[in-house]
A and B are shown apart, each in its own frame.
Chain A
Amino acid sequence: MSKKENLLEIKGLTIRYTTEEGTVKAVENMSVEIAKGETLGIVGETGAGKTTTALGIMQLIPNPPGKIEGGEIIFEGENLIGKSAAQLRKIRGNKISMIFQDPMTSLNPVMTVGEQIAEVIQLHEKKSAKESMIKAQDMLETVGIPGDRYKDYPHQFSGGMRQRVVIAIALACNPQLLIADEPTTALDVTIQAQVLNLMKKLKEEFETSMIMITHDLGIVAEICDKVAIMYAGNVVEYTDRDTLFTSPKHPYTLGLFNSIPNIEEDEDKLKPIKGLMPDPTDLPSGCPFHPRCPKATPECAERTPNPVAVKDGHVVSCLLFEK
C-alpha cells in the first residue's frame, strides 16, 4: 500500500441510531485511512452503513437519533469529532466536500446553477459576487458544461448534467477530500461513463483524495485504489483493489462476486448469498454475517471476529482467518 502521508485516518469509528424499535448499530469500530490523491471505495448493500460513514466524516449525522459513540476521525492531523459548528463550517464544502446520490434533489430548484456554485466560493474564499460568478463559470467549463449556461435553473438540465453541476459545486473550493455517495447510481450507463471519466480526470488534475461509495464492483475496478467492503455496519474486508479482485477472502465478498452476472463470461446459474440482510435493530450475535455464511461454524454465532491482517495491508474480519 501507499507510503504517502495520510490525509484522513478513521480509527474505531462507531455510530449508532437510537430509535423506538431499538438501537441501530450503523457503523461498528471502523478503521480506514486515505493518503493524498488516493481513492477509497466503500462497497456494500442497502443498510451496510456506507452513507452513515460518509455523514459521520462530514459530522452531519442527525442527532438525535444518531450519535457518534466512539472513535476518531483524524483529518490533516486533527480530530474532527468535537470541533465546534463554526470550525466545521470552515471545513465542510471547503476542505471536505460531498456529492450526493440523487442529482435531482440535491440542487436548489429556485437558484440558478451559477449562483449555487458561486455561493460556495463566496462563502469560503471571501470573493466578491462578481469574481465568484466568473469562477463558477470556469467550474462549469471544467465539468464540461458551456459556461454561458450559468444563468439556467436545474430543471433545464438533464440528469447527467445536473450531476456535473453537483460535482462542480463540490470541487469549487478545490477540496482535499471528496466524498461521493453513489454519484452515478441514478444515471444511465453511457452518462455514468461520462461522469466517471470526468471524476478520474479531475482527481488527476487536482490530486484530490476521494471516498467512492458504491454498490457496483465494476466502478471499484475502474476508479478505486483501495476498498472497504461493509456488511451490517462492519468492515469485513479492507484491502487494495488488485488484491480484492485477485484474492478476495471474506465469505461475504466472495458471495458478492458470485451474485453479479458476469458480462465477460457465460454462466448457467448465479450463486446468490442465501437469506436476507439482518434487521439492523436486531443484528445476529457474533459475526453479523454468520446466518448467511456458507462457511459458518458454531463459534461464529458466539464470538465477534477481530480484524486480522492476512497479509500486509489486507485486513479480513472473519474467524476463519483468526488463529
Chain B
Amino acid sequence: MAKRLIEVKNLKKHFETKKGLLHAVDGVNFFINEGETLGLVGESGCGKSTTGRVVLRLLEATDGEIIFEDKNILDYNKQQMREMRKKMQIVFQDPFASLNPRMSVAEIIAEPLEVNKVFKSKKDLDARVKELMDTVGLADRLMNIYPHELDGGRRQRIGIARALALNPKFIVQDEPVSALDVSIQAQILNLMADLQKELGLTYLFISHDLSVVKHVSDRIAVMYLGQIVELSDYNSMFRDPQHPYTQALLSAIPVPGIGKPKRERIILEGDVPSPINPPEGCRFYGRCRHRQDICKGQTPELKDMGNERFVACHFTGNLK
C-alpha cells in the first residue's frame, strides 16, 4: 500500500476580524500519499489557499494536527521547523508578485540554498543553480536577468526552480497556472508532471480551475466555506459527483465542444455566504436545491462511502 506522506486532521484556522471570528479553515481532514497529487478546488474565499499555507505553517493553525512523515509538525519549535521546511515548499500563484524585483534570476534561485548554508563554495552553489535552471527549462543566459524582463511563464519557472532548490518531498502548488495564458499554462503543467515523475514529488495542487485540477490530480478535494464537502479519486468525482455543491460546480464549467451530451446545468442561486460567524448546520444550506430541515440544524460529517470516497451531506446516495 502506498505510504502516507502527510495527513491533516481536524485542521482549523480562524482569524479575528472586526466583524467577528472568520472561519477560514474549519475542520479539514485529508491525507496525501507519497508521489501523489491531491487537488484542492473551490471558489474564492473557500479557504483553499489558507489551507495550503497552514499545512506549511506559513500561517499558524488554530487547531488540529499536521502529520508529516509520522510526526505532528505543529509540535515543532522554530529550529526543527526550519529543518522541516527543506522538505516542504510552495509555488505561489502570482509570478509577478512572488519574486523579488531587485534580485536576479540566479539570486532568487540561490537564496534558499544560501539561507540553509547547503554549499560551502560559490562554485558548487552556481553549479546547483545552473542545474536547477536547466531542470525547469530556463536558459543559462537568463541568470543575470531580472524578473521584470521575463514573461509570466518563465517567471513561474523561476518560482518552481526556487521551490525545488532544497530537494523537497512535498510542494504546495497554490494556483500556479492561473495567471498564465493557456498555451503557456500547458507548458508549465507538463513541466510539473515531469518533475513529479522524475523526483518523486508529492503535490497539494490548489486551483479554482476544475479542468486543470482534473488533469493533474490523482484525488480531488472540493472545499466550500472552510470545509471539505467531497473527496475522492478524480474519476469518480467527475463521473459521479455526490455532493450537491460538487454537482453544481461541475455542471457550471463551459465545455469547449459542441454536439456532445452536456451535463444538465445547475445554476446556483446567490453567492457564497460570509465565513464570519457561519451558522450551524450545513454551510451549503442556503444555496442547495435539496435542502431539508435537518440540514439547517445539523452539520453533516465527512462520511466514508467506501472506495476512499468521502462526502459531507445528509442525503448522500439518496440524491438524484
Task: Please give the number of chain B residues whose Cβ is less than 8 angstroms from any Cβ of chain A in the complex.
Answer: 39
- Hey, what's the 0/1 contact readout for A12-44 against B, CB within 8 Å counting as 1? 000000000000000000000000000000000
| A179 CA to B208 CA, complexed, in Å | 26
A301 in the interface, Cβ–Cβ < 8 Å? no
Residues of A within 8 A of B267 (CB): 190, 193-194, 197
* Complex CA–CA separation, A221 to B259 (angstroms): 10
Asked if residues B186 and A272 are in contact (CB atoms below 8 Å), the reply is: yes
Q: Which of A150-206 contact B (CB under 8 A)?
A: 158-161, 188-194, 196-197
Interface residue A87 (Cβ < 8 Å from any Cβ of B): no
- Tell me if A321 is interfacial: C-beta within 8 Å of chain B: no
Q: Known contacts being A261-B212, A263-B253, A267-B215, is A189 close to B183, with CB within 8 Å? A: no
Given contacts A158-B271, A246-B258, contact A189 B181 (CB under 8 A): no
Q: Is chain A's interface secondary structure helix, strand, loop, or mixed overall?
A: helix
In the complex the two chains form, what is the Cα distance from A241 to B210 in whole Å?
24
Residues of B near A246 (CB, < 8 A) are 258-259
Of A76-84, A112-120, A134-142, A211-219, the one with at least 4 CB within 8 A of chain B: A211-219
B141 to chain A, nearest CB (A): 15
Chain A residue nearest to B179 in the complex (CB)? A46
Kindly state whether residue B118 has any CB partner on chain A within 8 Å.
Answer: no
Evaluate contact between A261 and B43: CB separation under 8 angstroms. Answer: no
Number of A-B residue pairs with CB-CB distance less than 8 Å in the complex they form: 117
Nearest A residue to B152 via CB reads: A46
Measured CB to CB, the nearest residue on chain B to A267 is B215
Q: Inside 8 A of A9's CB, which chain B residues have their CB?
A: none
Interface segment out of the listed A90-98, A122-130, A251-259: A251-259
In the bound complex, do residue A188 and residue B44 qualify as a contact, i.e. CB atoms below 8 Å apart?
Answer: yes
**A276/B184 contact (C-beta < 8 A), A190-B248, A263-B214 known:** yes
Q: Are B252 and A263 in contact (CB under 8 A)?
A: no
User: Is A46 a contact of B181 with CB atoms below 8 Å?
Assistant: yes
Question: For residue B214, which residues in chain A have a CB less than 8 angstroms away from its CB?
Answer: 261, 263
* Nearest CB in chain A: distance from B95 CB, A: 13
- On chain A, the number of residues with a Cβ less than 8 Å from chain B's Cβ atoms is 46
Contact B254 A219 (CB under 8 A): yes
Distance of A277 from chain B, by nearest CB (Å): 7
B16-47 residues with Cβ-Cβ distance < 8 A to A are 43-44
Q: Is B71 engaged at the interface, CB distance under 8 Å to the other chain?
A: no
- The 8 Å CB contact of B182, one of A45, A219, A264, is A45
A4 CB–B CB distance under 8 Å? no
B100 at the interface (CB under 8 A from A): no
Give the residue name and chain of the B residue nearest to A189 (CB). Answer: B252
Q: Contacts A191-B271, A192-B252: A45 and B183 contacting too (C-beta < 8 A)?
A: yes
Q: How far is the CB of B269 from chain A (nearest CB, A)?
A: 8
Instruction: Please judge, given known A-B contacts A158-B271, A189-B208, A196-B254, whether A260 and B182 are in contact too, CB under 8 Å.
Output: yes
Contact A245 B256 (CB under 8 A): yes
Once the chains bind, are B183 and A259 in contact (CB under 8 Å)? yes
- The answer to whether the Cβ of B153 comes within 8 Å of any Cβ in the partner chain is yes
Distance, CA A257 to CA B186, complexed state (A): 11
A270 to B187, CA, bound (A): 8
Known: A220-B256, A259-B185. 4 other contacts (CB 8 A): A45-B182, A161-B271, A189-B43, A272-B185
List residues of A whose CB falls within 8 A of some B CB: 45-46, 158-161, 188-194, 196-197, 215-222, 241-242, 245-246, 255-264, 267, 269-274, 276-277
* 3 smallest beta-carbon distances between A and B, as pairs: A218-B254, A272-B186, A261-B215
Instruction: Name 8 A/B residue pairs within 8 A (Cβ), A-sorted.
Output: A160-B271, A218-B254, A218-B256, A220-B256, A257-B256, A259-B186, A263-B238, A273-B186
